[in-house]
């Protein structure tokens, strides 16, 4: 059996930003749904964080999610198994009130809100939704007692890259999962793996620190336990370098995306202004022009290129002398940054 694996879809992301709604729509209507039709996929497993906001839903975002994703797979006769992720729960210490249960009752979706085992074409899979105070003991017991060869969850494991440049130093130790042939997880958006544990990564780029990161979905073969990765070809973020001119990519690829125009040599000002006008007329979600690439510091060092906000914050925290755990400070700053980005 071939099963499509997808995770961390985050419908309603970035405060229900319409540019992201359209970016999602292009991905599902042009890539995922046609793939499901062509491949004859009938089983889909969603590894958590279907929706972005824990405490509310925007009606427009919900309708768009149904129109671009849930309605088509229902029409195709697909069955979905959906794990509850940390973004899907109203309370942090229990999974009892969750968005998939509350919002998707009209679809053939098996919502996993407690540790459980399901069989797919003779292959048992232990499912672990988000582990919280209420289900912690039950989750550990299920992991210990499970005889399933595969485990899938919305897990917070230490030692993995949560986002580019930031490795988690807290969470569950992956040694707890050595008994399984393979472990597949959502939660961290960066695609990575160590030993038998695989973070699948989310389907699309959501923030500037996702720039140039590969995103997409996977297909699992239950006979071999092997997965095949299918990349999302639509990038959300682009960097263009202006050196007395710039080659503008296909306008359809840039429309609705976020672009940084990094000016190395402006040259003729009228030509530069013309190129900027060309970019503005495409219909970008946002255009940032970065002209000062080289800043001389007092100690003689040079900053060559502007980095993303989280990298700048992490580097700053690493460079200051404080007596608290710097990783905790980074986690707090990251949480504040994500909240600010939603506003």
Range of the domain at 325: 237-342
Rg of the chain on CA atoms, in Å: 22
Of 176, 211, 231, which marks where a domain is finished?
Answer: 231
Tell me, yes or no, whether 84 and 215 share the same domain. yes
Q: What is the DSSP letter of 308?
A: P
**Could you read off the pLDDT of 265-290 as tens digits, one per residue?**
999 999 999 999 999 999 999 999 99
Tell me, yes or no, whether 189 and 268 share the same domain. no
The two beta strands, 197-199 and 216-221, are: unpaired
Tell me, yes or no, whether 75 and 31 share the same domain. yes
Q: What gap in Å lies between CA 198 and CA 193, rounded to an integer?
A: 4
Nearest residue to 214 via CA among 200, 198, 197: 200
Tell me, yes or no, whether 167 and 258 share the same domain. no
Domains: count for the chain: 2
Tell me, yes or no, whether 156 and 28 share the same domain. yes
pLDDT score at 308: 62
Paired tokens of 336: 């504040």
Tell me, yes or no, whether 24 and 143 share the same domain. yes
Of 199, 215, 231, which marks where a domain is finished?
Answer: 231
305 within 8 A of 277, measured Cβ to Cβ: no
**Could you read off the pLDDT of 76-110 as tens digits, one per residue?**
999 999 999 999 999 999 999 999 999 999 999 99
Tell me, yes or no, whether 170 and 312 share the same domain. no
Tell me, yes or no, whether 226 and 289 share the same domain. no
Cβ contacts of 280 within 8 Å, gap of 6 or more:
287
Residue 236's Cβ-side half-sphere holds a number of Cα atoms within 13 Å equal to 24
The CATH number linked to 24 is 3.60.21.10
Q: What gap in Å lies between CA 291 and CA 233, rounded to an integer?
A: 29
Average pLDDT over residues 206-230: 96
Cβ contacts of 172 within 8 Å, gap of 6 or more:
131, 155, 156, 157, 158
| Mean per-residue pLDDT of the chain | 92
């Amino acid at each position: 059996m071939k099963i499509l694996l997808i995770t961390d879809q985050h419908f309603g992301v970035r405060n229900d930003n319409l540019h992201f709604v359209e970016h999602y729509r292009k991905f599902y209507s042009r890539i995922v749904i046609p793939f499901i039709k062509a491949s004859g996929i009938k089983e889909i497993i969603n590894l958590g964080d279907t929706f972005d906001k824990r405490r509310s839903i925007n009606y427009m975002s919900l309708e768009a999610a149904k129109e671009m994703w849930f309605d088509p797979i229902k029409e195709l006769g697909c069955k979905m198994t959906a794990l509850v992720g940390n973004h899907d729960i109203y309370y942090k210490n229990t999974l009892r009130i969750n968005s998939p249960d509350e919002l998707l009752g009209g679809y053939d979706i098996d919502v996993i809100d407690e540790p459980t085992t399901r069989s797919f074409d003779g292959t048992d899979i232990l499912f672990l939704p988000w582990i919280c105070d209420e289900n912690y003991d039950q989750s550990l017991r299920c992991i210990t007692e499970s005889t399933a060869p595969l485990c899938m969850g919305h897990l917070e494991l230490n030692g993995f890259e949560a986002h580019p440049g930031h490795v988690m130093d807290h969470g569950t130790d992956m040694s707890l999962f050595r008994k399984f042939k393979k472990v597949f997880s959502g939660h961290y958006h960066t695609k990575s793996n160590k030993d038998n544990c695989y973070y699948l990564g989310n389907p699309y780029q959501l923030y500037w620190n996702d720039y140039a990161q590969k995103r997409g979905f996977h297909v699992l073969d239950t006979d071999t336990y092997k997965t095949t990765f299918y990349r999302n070809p639509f990038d959300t973020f682009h960097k263009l370098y202006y050196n007395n001119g710039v080659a503008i990519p296909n306008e359809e690829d840039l429309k609705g995306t976020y672009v940084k125009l990094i000016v190395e040599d402006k040259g003729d000002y009228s030509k530069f202004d013309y190129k900027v006008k060309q970019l503005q007329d495409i219909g970008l979600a946002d255009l940032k022009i970065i002209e000062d690439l080289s800043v001389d510091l007092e100690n003689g060092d040079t900053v060559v290129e502007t980095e993303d906000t989280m990298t700048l914050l992490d580097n700053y925290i690493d460079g200051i002398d404080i007596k608290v755990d710097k990783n905790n400070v980074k986690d707090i700053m990251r949480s504040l940054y994500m909240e600010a980005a939603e506003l």
